[in-house]
Amino acid sequence: MQRFIVVRCFYAVLVLFAVSIIVFVLARASGNPIDTMLPLDATPEQQQVFMELWGLDKSYPEQYFDFLVNAFRGDFGNSVKWADRTAMGLVIERFPLTLKLGAVAIGISVLLAVPIGVLSAVKKDTIFDLNGKVFALLGQATPPFWLGIMLIWIFAVELDFFPTGGDEGISWIILPAITLGWFQVAALMRLVRSAMLEVLETEYVTLARVKGIREWKVVWKHCLRNASIPPLTLFGILAAQVMTGAIVTETVFSLPGTGNLAIEAIRGRDYPVIQAVVVLFAVIYIGMNLAVDILYAYLDPRIRYDRA
């Protein structure tokens, strides 16, 4: 088990390292910030001073090394747009909103997906199961931004239940969270269903029934507990989807979260902020996957020896 954890952690660091290279190249590939930051009539001398100030006059390997050392300390330099703010500071400031949104979205998808998935498995091939299937298919075919706009149209414009955007009060989070969680519900539901179907056929479930345990207890306790291992792996992917989804959702609902910040930063060629956002997202994603891997190996000992 220890060996497994060490190997996995090593891989995670390796992946993070590769991500840092791509992030660096990416930021350099998105155009020279001089074009957007200095007025068009800036003299060559002014440009030179600017380049030196930001370390843009050094060679690329040198720039990368500086970047890596600083990134390790969470320092991506000051934002280009708001020169008195650090990039990481800006990202951290905007992050709670995205985190809240993501948490509520995942909460909604779990609350919807688990019961529907379990019932679809228990009532396999009935009307209920068919409805579940249709629901999942529609869920996976709906573009999240379109769903968001339609929710605004129906619930905020026509019915006037919720605000069309902004983040005041409590009700603002409901529509964005549904938009963000919707896509995940379908995938999670299908996974719960197939895992439940497998568990329902095992001998220990039959044994539990033979012992006279109530059916609801067999399903919701004995089966669901064992069927929850495969959906667990999805959580790593879920984290990534929620973060990328946040970019879209925050744009649709004009929420000032990290996703919105990223879009602003890219439009303004704000290198440090772009780097900070991408690295933060990548760290969360890699961290989630590492945690899921270790948890998975802990729950199912066969994996430790197979994958290490």
Partner 1 sequence: MEVSLPTPAQAGPQAGRVSRFVREVRRYPLIPITILIVVLIIPAIFAPWIAPYHPIDDGGLPNRLKPPVWAEGGTWDHVLGTDKQGRDILSRIIHGAKYVLMVSLSVIFVSGIIGVSLGLIAGYFGGWIDNLIMRGVDVFLAIPAILLALALVTSRGPSFGVVIFVICFILWSRYARQVRGEVLTIKNQDFVARARVVGASHFRVIVRHILPNVFNTIIVLATLQVGFVILLEAILSFLGAGIPRPTPAWGLLVSEGRELVISGKGWQLSLFPGVAIVLVVLSFNLLGDWLRDRLDPKQRNL
- Choose the stretch contacting partner 1; rule: CB under 8 A; options: 44-52, 59-67, 83-91, 132-140: 132-140
Q: Which is nearer to partner 1, 97 or 118 (CB)?
A: 118
Contacts of 113 (CB under 8 A, 6+ apart): 184, 185, 186, 188, 189, 192
Task: Give the x-and-dash track for 45-84 against partner 1 (CB under 8 A).
Answer: ----------------------------------------
Nearest to 253 by CA among 178, 175, 185: 175
Q: Is 262 in the site for partner 1 (CB under 8 A)?
A: yes
Tokens of 45: 């001398």
Q: Is 19 in the site for partner 1 (CB under 8 A)?
A: yes
Q: Is 145 in the site for partner 1 (CB under 8 A)?
A: yes
Please count the residues of this chain forming the interface with partner 1, following the rule CB under 8 A. Answer: 67
Q: Is 143 in the site for partner 1 (CB under 8 A)?
A: yes
Q: Which is nearer to partner 1, 49 or 254 (CB)?
A: 254
Question: Alpha carbon 59 to chain centroid distance?
Answer: 34
Q: Is 210 in the site for partner 1 (CB under 8 A)?
A: no
Q: Is 242 in the site for partner 1 (CB under 8 A)?
A: no
Provide the minimum distance between the beta carbon of 45 and partner 1 in the complex, in angstroms, as a whole number: 26
Provide the minimum distance between the beta carbon of 89 and partner 1 in the complex, in angstroms, as a whole number: 19
Selected from 269, 276, 293, 297, the binder of partner 1 by CB under 8 A is: 269
Q: Which is nearer to partner 1, 84 or 158 (CB)?
A: 158
Selected from 4, 24, 27, 162, the binder of partner 1 by CB under 8 A is: 27
DSSP the chain: -HHHHHHHHHHHHHHHHHHHHHHHHHHHHT--HHHHHS-TT--HHHHHHHHHHTTTTS-HHHHHHHHHHHHHTT---B-SSSTTSBHHHHHHHHHHHHHHHHHHHHHHHHHHHHHHHHHHHHTTTSHHHHHHHHHHHHHHHS-HHHHHHHHIIIIIIIS--S-SS---TTGGGHHHHHHHHHHHHHHHHHHHHHHHHHHHTSHHHHHHHHTT--HHHIIIIIIHHHHTHHHHHHHHHHHHHHHHHHHHHHHHTT--SHHHHHHHHHHTT-HHHHHHHHHHHHHHHHHHHHHHHHHHHHH-HHHHHHH-
Q: Which is nearer to partner 1, 30 or 47 (CB)?
A: 30
Measured distance CA(115)–CA(117) in Å, rounded: 5
Q: Which residues pair with 86 in a beta bridge?
A: 78
Selected from 102, 132, 144, 176, the binder of partner 1 by CB under 8 A is: 144
Provide the minimum distance between the beta carbon of 125 and partner 1 in the complex, in angstroms, as a whole number: 5
Q: Which is nearer to partner 1, 112 or 152 (CB)?
A: 152
Q: Is 34 in the site for partner 1 (CB under 8 A)?
A: no
Interface residue list for partner 1 (CB under 8 A): 11, 14-16, 18-19, 22-23, 26-27, 29-31, 119, 122-127, 130, 137-138, 140-146, 149-150, 152-153, 156-158, 164-165, 190, 194, 197-198, 200, 215-216, 219, 240, 243-244, 247-248, 251-252, 262-263, 266-267, 269, 274, 277-278, 281-282, 285-286, 289
